[in-house]
Amino acid sequence: MSDNSDKSTNRADEDKKDHGVLYIGMDLGTSRTSVSASNGVRETVFSTVGYPKDHVSSKLLQKDVLFGKEAIEKRMSLRVYRPLEKGVIKSEADGGDDANMKAARDLIGEAIRIAKPRSDELVYCVIGAPAEASMTNREAIIEAAREHVDSVMLCSEPFAVAYGLDWLEDVLVCDIGAGTTDLCRMHGTMPEDSDQVMFDVAGDAVDAELAKQIEATCPGAQFTIQMVKEIKERYGFVGEPSERVMVELPVDGKPTTFDLTEQLQAACSVLIAPIVDGIKQLVATFDPEFQQKLKNRVLLAGGGSMVKDLDTAVEHAMHERLGGGKVIRIEEPIYGGSNGALKIAHDMPEDYWEQLK
């Protein structure tokens, strides 16, 4: 891949990188990509990439590519991609196209850029990938990241969450994202395939259900999936409501107030059963001596864990179906994965980084 002149150039470039070492932990998600870095940067960006549709929009926007919130806001002028739909990058082999791969590469590049690395520092990056990402996907992620960093590694996203909290044994991580919910049990060693469960009932499924509910119960209400997502993120809950959820939606152009309390509760509740099914599967196939301990250490992480009272609801369901359990929501659901990846990057020995350059 590289000839001697490239190697000597690379070595010369690295010699200039004597200012320090920047560690980056990245959580690549369907909806959000979060970054935590050892220079104090912690940022999150929506995993949306947009390219101007034509020359006119290109001149108007004065950019060749837009990311995150900006891409969502200007979506009418853009070709918009969510390159990590359902937690995987749709390459050509998966029925996707080059444009999707390019969007994924650009998104990873943007994530590294927002970590604000210095040009005279070594950059070592650990990326938390979905547990069941294919080899092709992993290669694509590595390839995209290598353009911007000196050395990069992948790890399982739920594993990164647990590692970040120093919970390495007898813990079950439930990472609720937008595209997928990943469950992973930790037992002191690297999780294997049998330690991981993934299903696609997650944030996007809640949005779809809520949209369906609104369509059925609010005649004439005009809305987009983006609006539904914002309603969910702001008001989402399960269990008993503490107050009514009143939301304004346009009807024939006129803002009209709707009571969406029941609809929200019903939509968010779709998460509970699959999560408990996944927990049951992992607990039941675990060493019986440690099953009780595992049940009592269920960690909820990811953006989906911010649904109000979801931890209580899952715990209640576990009591009914599994005879007990304890569910804890991590303190920083958005940054749990990236913080854990950062910690892995920090702890990784130097010669491992060197060998992967």
Partner 1 sequence: MSGFKETLKDALRQVSFRTSVEKLRKKGIQEVSVLGLDRIVGLVEAAVHRSLRTRLMGIEREAVAESTKAEFLRLLRSHEDLQREKSEIERARERAEEEIDQMRRELTQKQSALQDRLERGSVDQANRYVGEDAAIAAKVTEVIGAIASESDTASHEVLNERLMALVMDVVSAERQSADGARKELQDREVGILQRRIKKLSDTLSSTEQRLVKATAVKDFDTGISSIYREVQGLNTADTQAAKKKELMADIFRANLALQKRSKGA
Nearer to partner 1, 19 or 319 (CB): 19
Alpha-helical (H) ranges within the chain are: 4-16, 55-61, 68-73, 98-113, 135-146, 157-164, 203-217, 225-235, 261-268, 272-284, 291-295, 310-322, 336-347, 350-355
Scanning 13-21, 201-209, 243-251, 324-332 for contacts with partner 1 by CB under 8 A, the matching segment is 13-21
State which of residues 26, 37, 249, 282 lies at the interface with partner 1 (CB under 8 A).
37
- When binding is defined by CB under 8 A, the residue of 4, 12, 15, 40 that contacts partner 1 is 40
Q: Which is nearer to partner 1, 42 or 212 (CB)?
A: 42
Q: Note whether 43 binds partner 1 by CB under 8 A.
A: no
122, β-bridge pairs: 21
* Residues 182 to 201 in contact with partner 1, rule: CB under 8 A: 188-190
* 14 interacts with partner 1 by CB under 8 A: no
Residue 174's closest CA among 35, 30, 333, 284? Answer: 333
- In the complex, what is the shortest distance from the CB of residue 329 to partner 1, in angstroms, rounded to a whole number? 23
Instruction: Determine the interface stretch with partner 1 among 32-40, 47-55, 96-104, 260-268 (rule: CB under 8 A).
Output: 32-40
Binding map of partner 1 across residues 112-151, x = CB under 8 A, - = no contact: ----xxxxxxx-x----------x--xx--xx--------
Q: Which is nearer to partner 1, 164 or 304 (CB)?
A: 164
In this complex, which beta carbon is closest to partner 1, that of residue 160 or of residue 221?
160
Taking CB under 8 A as the criterion, the residue among 93, 168, 246, 273 binding partner 1 is 168
286 is an interface residue for partner 1 by CB under 8 A: no
> CA 78 to CA 54: how far, in whole Å?
8
Which tokens in the block code for residue 4? 């001697």
**In 3D, which of 35, 203, 180, 178 has the Cα closest to residue 108?**
35
Q: What amino acid occupies position 82?
A: R
**Rounded distance, CA 71 to CA 22, Å?**
28
Cβ proximity to partner 1, 37 vs 78, nearer residue: 37
Going by C-alpha positions, the residue among 187, 190, 199 that lies closest to residue 283 is 187
Q: How far is the CB of 167 from partner 1 (least distance, A)?
A: 10
- DSSP character string of 218-236: STTB---HHHHHHHHHHH-
Distance, CA of 233 to CA of 214 (rounded, Å): 16
- Residue numbers at the binding site for partner 1 (CB under 8 A): 1, 19-23, 37-41, 116-122, 124, 135, 138-139, 142-143, 153-155, 163, 166, 168-169, 188-190, 344, 346-350, 352-353, 355-356
